[in-house]
């Protein structure tokens, strides 16, 4: 009898041990890679970091976030392809780095449409979900937009005061895409340089100034050390940053995780809007309190003059390009401008440079 009992206990122990091997050890967490060409302390990466940490927390650590900043995981132009291939799972970057991917979407970067970043972002969000030609470009790139983590009015910084178009003529300014055409029309010399090269180029006098600096980032960039004049031309929102994920990664998630991602997408839109307002206010308070820059808001008359020189020439150049690509540029532009009018009323924006 004792022998049978011992044998029974031995078998039971073996079953418990085997069960522990299959059940007792939790599955190893999966690491998700988040990549951005911007630095860790750059205010623009805030939304990406928030999302990664929230996804980690809400999945109870089943998905860990690994962040790569300053192009440590690929250069900016390569990031969409890396996301599509699965080399990275999420990217926070700008459309301007990959114009070959975003053709129709680059209409969101047309100058002199709006100075309201909330209206720009909300219009992009709605058209991404409701207008197939816009969404198709993302899908063809293997991307799923998490949310448009837009940036505010693009600041221009210079070594000397720039009060209007006349102060642009003959000078060298960092630029890209439609901004380069605008500078040419104003009589300046556009120079194509990456964001990371701006400080040194200003410091050495290679540049007289630089366009394409988010107002949110004027303080953190420290460009004011070599270019203490910040001016607003009225050109408004002409660069779109976005937070996207690999469609392959999204499709690999179980349904409960997809639900979490969808919740975070919606929350992220609202959070980014609120964060932008608060951060922009803090940035300009620091700039004024510490007397780091001279802020110049072009007069209404000068803004109107500058716009008359640049528009409609730049818009028409883009529309002509869309026609050659057999893309509905005119239709898109009508929809976009209509939504901007709608969302400017829904999400009022206080221009930090003044009226």
pLDDT of 25 > 50? The answer is: no
Give the pLDDT confidence score for residue 178 in this predicted structure: 83
What is the distance between the alpha carbons of residues 149 and 147, in angstroms, rounded to a whole number? Answer: 6
Residue-wise pLDDT for 162-199, tens only, equals 999 999 999 999 998 789 999 999 999 999 988 889 99
More confident residue, 13 or 341: 341
Question: What's the whole-number average pLDDT of the chain?
Answer: 91
pLDDT of 118 > 90? The answer is: yes
What is the distance between the alpha carbons of residues 224 and 230, in angstroms, rounded to a whole number? Answer: 8
pLDDT of 2 > 60? The answer is: no
Instruction: Please choose, from the candidates 27, 29, 95, the residue with its C-alpha nearest in 3D space to the C-alpha of residue 57.
Output: 29
Give the pLDDT confidence score for residue 11 in this predicted structure: 52
Cα–chain center distance at 73: 17
Give the pLDDT confidence score for residue 158 in this predicted structure: 98
Task: Look up the CATH number of domain 154-238+281-314.
Answer: 3.40.190.170
What is the distance between the alpha carbons of residues 168 and 150, in angstroms, rounded to a whole number? Answer: 27
Cis preceding-peptide flag for 312 (omega within 30 of 0): yes
> Contact at 8 Å (CB) between 161 and 167?
yes
Residues 6+ apart with CB under 8 A from 108: 95, 120, 123, 124, 240, 336
Beginning with the edge strand found earlier in the chain, give each strand of the sheet holding 294-297 in spatial order. Answer: 189-191, 172-174, 209-214, 154-158, 229-232, 294-297
Give the pLDDT confidence score for residue 131 in this predicted structure: 98
Confidence label for 22 from pLDDT (cuts 50, 70 and 90): very low
Q: Positive or negative CA dihedral for 46, 48, 52, 54?
A: positive
312: DSSP letter: T
pLDDT of 54 > 60? The answer is: yes
Report pTM. Answer: 0.88
Q: List, in sequence order, every beta strand (DSSP E) within 3-53.
A: 30-35
pLDDT of 271 > 90? The answer is: yes
Confidence label for 28 from pLDDT (cuts 50, 70 and 90): confident
Q: Which residues does residue 66 pair with via DSSP β-bridges, in sequence order? A: 33
Q: Where in the chain is the domain with CATH 3.40.190.170?
A: 30-98+131-150+239-275, 154-238+281-314
Give the pLDDT confidence score for residue 7 in this predicted structure: 54
pLDDT of 352 > 50? The answer is: yes
Q: Positive or negative CA dihedral for 332, 338, 342, 343?
A: positive
Give the pLDDT confidence score for residue 354 in this predicted structure: 79
Q: Is 245 helix (H, G, I), strand (E, B) or coil?
A: strand
What is the second-level CATH architecture of the domain 30-98+131-150+239-275?
3-Layer(aba) Sandwich (3.40)
Q: Is 68 helix (H, G, I), strand (E, B) or coil?
A: strand
Q: What angle do CA 253, 63, 81 make, to 5 degrees?
A: 65
């Amino acid at each position: 009898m004792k022998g049978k009992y011992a044998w029974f206990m031995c078998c039971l122990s073996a079953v418990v041990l085997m069960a522990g091997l299959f059940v007792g050890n939790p599955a190893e967490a999966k690491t998700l890679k988040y990549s951005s060409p911007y630095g860790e302390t750059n205010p623009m990466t805030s939304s990406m970091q928030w999302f990664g940490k929230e996804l980690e927390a809400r999945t109870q650590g089943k998905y860990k976030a690994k962040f790569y900043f300053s192009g440590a995981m690929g250069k900016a132009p390569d990031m969409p392809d890396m996301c599509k291939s699965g080399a990275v799972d999420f990217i926070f970057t700008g459309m301007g780095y990959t114009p070959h991917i975003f053709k129709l979407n680059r209409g969101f970067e047309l100058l002199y449409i709006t100075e309201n970043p909330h209206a720009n972002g909300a219009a992009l969000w709605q058209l991404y979900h409701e207008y197939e030609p816009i969404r198709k470009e993302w899908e063809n790139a293997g991307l799923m937009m998490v949310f448009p983590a837009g940036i505010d009015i693009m600041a221009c910084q210079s070594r000397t005061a720039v009060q209007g178009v006349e102060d642009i003529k003959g000078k060298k300014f960092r630029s890209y895409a439609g901004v380069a055409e605008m500078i040419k029309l104003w009589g300046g010399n556009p120079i194509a340089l990456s964001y990371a090269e701006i400080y040194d180029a200003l410091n050495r006098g290679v540049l007289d100034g630089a366009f394409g600096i988010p107002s949110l980032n004027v303080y953190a960039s420290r460009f004011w050390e070599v270019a203490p004049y910040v001016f607003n031309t009225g050109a408004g929102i002409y660069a779109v940053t976005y937070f996207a994920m690999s469609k392959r990664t999204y499709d690999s998630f179980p349904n409960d995780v997809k639900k979490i991602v969808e919740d975070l997408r919606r929350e992220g839109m609202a959070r980014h809007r609120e964060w932008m307002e608060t951060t922009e206010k803090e940035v300009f308070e620091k700039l004024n309190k510490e007397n780091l820059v001279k802020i110049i808001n072009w007069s209404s008359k000068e803004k109107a003059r500058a716009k008359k020189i640049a528009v409609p020439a730049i818009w028409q150049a883009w529309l002509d390009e869309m026609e050659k690509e057999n893309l509905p540029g005119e239709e898109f532009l009508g929809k976009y401008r209509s939504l901007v009018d709608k969302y400017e009323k829904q999400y009022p924006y206080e221009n930090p440079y003044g009226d």
